[in-house]
Chains A and B, each alone.
Chain A
């Protein structure tokens, strides 16, 4: 789920930090700029792994900073497609389930990636799976006996497979004169989101597969 990315950038060191070793000062500046941020088509940056290469610091006209050209390796959160990871259920709604791994929570399981047949119990605010059921419509499913339902509750740890990831760059461009100064509020999309699936044997809440594991498998295949 973590990868190393090699990135090149020009970093300025403020005169106040000239007393620090250049290497330390650079790492601290890079972390300030990148840590906990999403890089488009790269992933979510965690922290600097190490510096690969750095030029001599140069002073430019206009400020007292030392500018370094640096090549460094960054630890990035970017699970690959088909990777299996553990995540916590953050919330459930009509569109599916939202997951979290603590430092990143734009992870979703859409309805189509839930084990079938399943439905949303609006009283519990949780989706449930009804194994070996003939029912297909949500209406029929909600009439089932509660004890047969296998709920995916909030806060539960689920094993999920990453199906896809999406990057959006929604930064607005400069305002056009013809449009005036009217501020339009658009729905903000997460810059990086991960689509996951639990519609497979072995995926879903961990207790499903720990207890009575053999029976489950037989039932599934039968």
Chain B
């Protein structure tokens, strides 16, 4: 084992939650399929064929644990994630671009979505000297980004594993929804360290001393 880069880039909480939800739905749909196959086999009287489905990988216990606990934490009602959306966050990062904020500050604004001045105080150092009047603009930009209703990423994924008996039209509609929400552009909101804000991390580390 070799660590090539311990901190290649930052991830926002929203990205992590969408990734974990995708994994979770994947797991649930697979579990459902397994149950269905077992039922079918029992019904057909096929026994003793033995062995597990060759196309299925077992999900390890440690992954399930951390997955479920992290989803619980990230989607708790004190987190702003419930009101966030992919489009909202994209718009927010665009709105924040003109202000002289560091990468780390922008990431925290996305993660915590501060809507009160005191919350922004904690995130941005020397807020008054650096931004002065612009503070209200940032707060209203955050508020605007939160208004979008929450469409949980990849939620309809598991619904697609309906029995084939379901009406043809219905299946189509669900599939459409599923794909629409499943499209997940990882590069959109990643806080890549190699960009113009490079060196921010170094500044942060200096604070330690």
Which chain A residues have a beta carbon within 8 Å of chain B's beta carbons?
1-9, 17, 19-20, 24-25, 28, 31-32, 35-37, 39, 41-43, 46-47, 49-50, 71, 73, 75-76, 78, 80-86, 101-103, 157, 159, 161, 164, 200-203, 206, 209-210, 213, 217
Does B1 count as interface, using CB distance less than 8 angstroms? yes
Bound CA–CA A8/B70 (angstroms): 25
B208–A46 touching, CB < 8 Å:
no
- How many interface residues does B have (CB within 8 Å)? 54
Question: Is A86 in contact with B78, judged by CB distance below 8 angstroms?
Answer: yes
Whether a CB of chain A sits under 8 angstroms from the CB of B9 is: yes
Report the separation of the CA atoms of residues A1 and B133 in the bound assembly, to the nearest whole angstrom: 29
Closest residue on chain B to residue A10 by CB atoms: B1
B121 contact set on A, CB distance < 8 A: 201-202
CB proximity of A115 to chain B, nearest CB, Å: 13
- 0/1 string, B44-66, CB within 8 A of A gives 1: 00000000001111111011011
| Interface Cβ pair total, 8 Å cutoff | 149
Find out whether the CB atom of A81 lies under 8 angstroms from the CB atom of B205: yes
Chain B, residues 101-123, CB within 8 Å of chain A (1/0): the string is 00010001001100010110111
Q: How many angstroms from the CA of A13 to the CA of B61 in the assembled complex? A: 18
User: By the criterion CB–CB under 8 Å, are B11 and A75 in contact?
Assistant: yes
Q: B residues near A, CB below 8 A?
A: 1-13, 15-16, 19-20, 23, 54-60, 62-63, 65-67, 69-70, 72-73, 76, 78-79, 104, 108, 111-112, 116, 118-119, 121-123, 186, 190, 201, 204-205, 207-208
Q: With A and B bound together, what is the CA distance between A85 and B74 in angstroms?
A: 11
B122 touches A2 (CB 8 A): no
CB of A47 within 8 A of CB of B207, answer no
What residues of B have a CB within 8 angstroms of the CB of A82 in the complex? 104, 204, 207
Report how far A39 CA is from B205 CA in the complex, Å: 20
Is the Cβ of B73 less than 8 Å from the Cβ of A31?
Answer: no
List the B residue with the shortest CB-CB distance to A203. B122
Closest A residue to B54 by CB, please name it. A19
Set B8, B72, B122, B207: member contacting A73, Cβ < 8 A:
B8
Please pick, from B5, B54, B73, the residue contacting A101 in the complex, using a CB distance under 8 A.
B73
